[in-house]
Chain A
Amino acid sequence: MNRREFFTASGIGLAATAGLISKAVAQPAEPEFFNDPNTRQPLASDGRSYTPVVTLNGGSLPWRMNDGVKEFHLVAEPVQREFAPGMLVNCWGYNGSSPGPTIEAVEGDRIRIFVTNKLPEHTTVHWHGLFLPSGMDGVGGLSQPHIPKGKTFVYEYTLRQSGTFMYHPHSDEMVQMAMGMMGMFIVHPRDGSHRVDRDFCFLLSSWDIDPGTFTPNTAEMTDFNMWTFNSRVFPGIDPLVVRKGDRVRIRIGNLSMTNHPIHLHGYSFKVAGTDGGWVPASAQWPEVTTDVPVGAMRAIEFVADVEGDWAFHCHKSHHTMGPMGHEVPNMIGVDQKKATPKVAKLLPDYMYMPMGENGMAEMQDMAAMGMTLPENTLPMMTGEGPFGPIEMGGMFTVLKVRKDIAPGDYADPGWYEHPEGTVAYELKS
């Protein structure tokens, strides 16, 4: 029996194993690892009334009950993360993954989190947004000693609020966050309020990974080239699959270095929660884009009453692109006919094509034609849709709303089949 099955069976089932632990604080459970980038099925709830979250291209960390305390085990360690097929990144993360697994619990829970440091340097974990004793806040040097490499520290506190939170290091923070160390921390209301049918969560991050390289440059402050939802880029980000009529929540945390106006097509939504908690209904207003500031969380909610494939993305257009050169000369409208034969003559073994004169859309065609890119480098724009190239990258995915999806089914239903006469068409002369 593998550990995951054992511990994820259910919170109630696990209570029976508590008797095996002789002391209140025994050794931590074997950690669960999240090495593959697929979206996992949500965990079962602990028996109370809440909808467990779906972590995009990740999952929630199983816990065990120990004398009434929910125990989690995080292992901080170097990991490899596939951003999308064709690009593997040397990150630092937790339990085999960047971001780390989502920690999910219920308001009022007593939790104990073991943090084992397998990084090459010390670390800490800060529980971003949670109300807790100052000594549990995880700021290295300020609230606790740094966790030396090879050591395990224990955090233990009671969850006094519900909402959307995050965890990340507060120890060599710039490097460790730029390397991908972060995770979601979801606390469900104890009283069953704010319950939705589908509850998604993910983190925003920014990376500087030069073309042809594998490891983020952590010294970069502004000039990033990879923009991710849960350390994935389009078309590597799973769709948000929703049944028609579902009440949907999407929780977004921003641990990147800039703000992201997150935009949903086809609907208006309301921001129902922020880093500070639930927004009273009287203070919510409808919108289609919400700016998620740095270090903040937003939980948006809507009723998915219209079927379709709806784009869901950051509205900064550079953030929905793969890596691109920001120093390339501007060739819009530049007639390259005269120079082209000369350049082709200089490069007899290379299929030289002048680029950029009529825009950059040709780039995806060229990629399709098999023009090679530097190793471990994704095209600037990519993705094939039912009507042709989608020409996106980075922070872009699709909300798929269908009426014939079973509750709890998150499998990709494929492209939307539009009813007759509902697709834009070419005017025939």
Chain B
Amino acid sequence: MLASVAIIAAGCSATNLENFPNTERVIERADYLDRKPIPSLTDYQEAAQVRVKELLSQPLTVSAAMEIAMLNTPKLQQHYQAYQIWDEDLVEELSVAGRKETDPTTTSMDWTAAKIALMKSVNTVYRYNFPREYFEVAEEFIDVGEEVRKTYFEAIAAHQLQAMLETTVTATQAAAELANAQYQAGTASLRSQAMQQMTHAETVKALAEAKLEAISTREALNRLLVLWGDDANWTAPERLPDLPAARPSYANLEEYALERRFDALSERKSWALWHTSVDVRSEVRENYATLLTRYDLAKYQQETVLPLSEAVLGETQKEYNGMLMGIYDLIDDTQGQIEAGREYVEALRDFWIAQAELSQAVGGKLPE
């Protein structure tokens, strides 16, 4: 009992008002802070800010997101600083490479940035004599790249899925309003009215979750791209990039990956510490199989399931015309169609994520 009283007393003394700084001391400190010079932006930072703003002026593509990440990620900037390439020339070089990326669905900016950094270091600093460190640096670029790609597609998909769910809410709201009108007209019971309201409530809740998911994935991307303030208000495309018409097909992907991951960044082909080639080969095979499966599923959803849901809805419309089915059936089947569309968006998102994972597995850039 005595001990606890002592502790409380000690606590009190720590928050004793007499111990707080008086006004003069506060002004003194503020003066000191004011006089402390704010470090001016470096040439790199200025150039990078300009380029980032330029990139954010358009709906954000995956290539733009990646370029921003290559410019803004603190740990990558540390490498630029270490290699003494942390200057406006690097920003320019990256932006030249970025402008060459015209395909809005893919990017190899991480690979490009790693290459620029490491090649320059070979010519300038010679600090990294050991290939193992080379690869660790390259891996950092490519890891950032993979994260950015995946988060980007998750954010765009979440936004799109949320927008589609808003249509579902319109559907259940229409059904709920009809149930209200039916109750008022005396053709539905309180129970059936309440049941329709419950159905509507479920989609309202699902929409809240979908909106939060859109915000969370967007903020995850903001963190990866180090965006805040006005820069965080970027606009996103309304939709994920379309599924490529042709099924992806890469020959000798394992050899390609081994070459890229062992040789391309180094002259020293004898080194084999980093990964065993067995692991690399297996990873590549698995990621490639994942990519193909994701492609096939998205294609199946697009070419078979979506038309089926449309066929169902079309037939329901005909039955509604004939008073063979009711308005709630019609509304239900519009929801079925929206759900099939949402499943397509999810399948498409998973395809692009699988592509990001395969890119990482083969060292940052898929073969042409």
What residues of chain A have their CB less than 8 Å away from a CB belonging to chain B?
211-212, 323-325, 327-336, 338-339, 342-343, 345-347, 350, 352, 354-356, 360, 363, 366-367, 371-374, 377, 379-380
The answer on a CB contact under 8 Å between A328 and B187 is no
Q: List 12 A-B contacts (CB under 8 A).
A: A323-B324, A324-B324, A327-B325, A328-B324, A329-B328, A334-B182, A335-B181, A336-B181, A347-B330, A347-B334, A366-B321, A372-B321
The answer on a CB contact under 8 Å between A325 and B331 is no
What residues of chain B have their CB less than 8 Å away from a CB belonging to chain A?
167, 170-171, 173-175, 177-178, 181-182, 184-188, 313, 315, 317-328, 330-331, 334
Count A-B pairs with CB separation below 8 Å: 117
The answer on a CB contact under 8 Å between A377 and B174 is no
In the complex, what residue of chain A is closest to B338 when comparing beta carbons?
A346
- Given the contacts A329-B328, A374-B318, A336 and B178 also touching, CB distance less than 8 Å: yes
The answer on a CB contact under 8 Å between B327 and A329 is yes
The answer on a CB contact under 8 Å between A374 and B185 is no
Q: Which residues of B sit under 8 angstroms from A333, Cβ to Cβ?
A: 185-187
Shortest distance between the CB of B196 and any CB in chain A (Å): 10
- Given the contacts A333-B187, A372-B318, A373-B318, A342 and B177 also touching, CB distance less than 8 Å: yes
The answer on a CB contact under 8 Å between A328 and B182 is no
Q: Which residues of A sit under 8 angstroms from B174, Cβ to Cβ?
A: 339, 342-343, 346
The answer on a CB contact under 8 Å between B319 and A339 is no
Q: Which residues of A sit under 8 angstroms from B170, Cβ to Cβ?
A: 342, 345-346
The answer on a CB contact under 8 Å between B178 and A211 is no
Q: Which residues of A sit under 8 angstroms from B334, Cβ to Cβ?
A: 343, 346-347
The answer on a CB contact under 8 Å between B326 and A327 is yes
The main secondary structure of chain A at its interface with chain B is loop
| A360–B326 alpha-carbon span in the complex (Å) | 13
The answer on a CB contact under 8 Å between A335 and B326 is no
The answer on a CB contact under 8 Å between B324 and A374 is yes
Shortest distance between the CB of A43 and any CB in chain B (Å): 40
The answer on a CB contact under 8 Å between A350 and B317 is yes
The answer on a CB contact under 8 Å between B324 and A377 is yes
The answer on a CB contact under 8 Å between B331 and A343 is yes
| A338–B178 alpha-carbon span in the complex (Å) | 8
Beyond the given A331-B182, A335-B181, please list 9 additional residue pairs across the A-B interface where CB-CB is below 8 A: A211-B324, A212-B318, A334-B185, A343-B327, A347-B313, A372-B318, A373-B324, A374-B319, A377-B318
| A234–B111 alpha-carbon span in the complex (Å) | 75
| A354–B326 alpha-carbon span in the complex (Å) | 10
The answer on a CB contact under 8 Å between A380 and B323 is yes
| A371–B182 alpha-carbon span in the complex (Å) | 25
Q: Which residues of A sit under 8 angstroms from B313, Cβ to Cβ?
A: 347
Q: Which of B175, B187, B318 contacts A334 (CB 8 A)?
A: B187
Q: Which of A327, A329, A346, A380 contacts B182 (CB 8 A)?
A: A329
Q: Which of A212, A336, A352, A356 contacts B323 (CB 8 A)?
A: A356
The answer on a CB contact under 8 Å between B324 and A329 is no
| A161–B186 alpha-carbon span in the complex (Å) | 58
The answer on a CB contact under 8 Å between A329 and B321 is no
In the complex, what residue of chain A is closest to B334 when comparing beta carbons?
A346
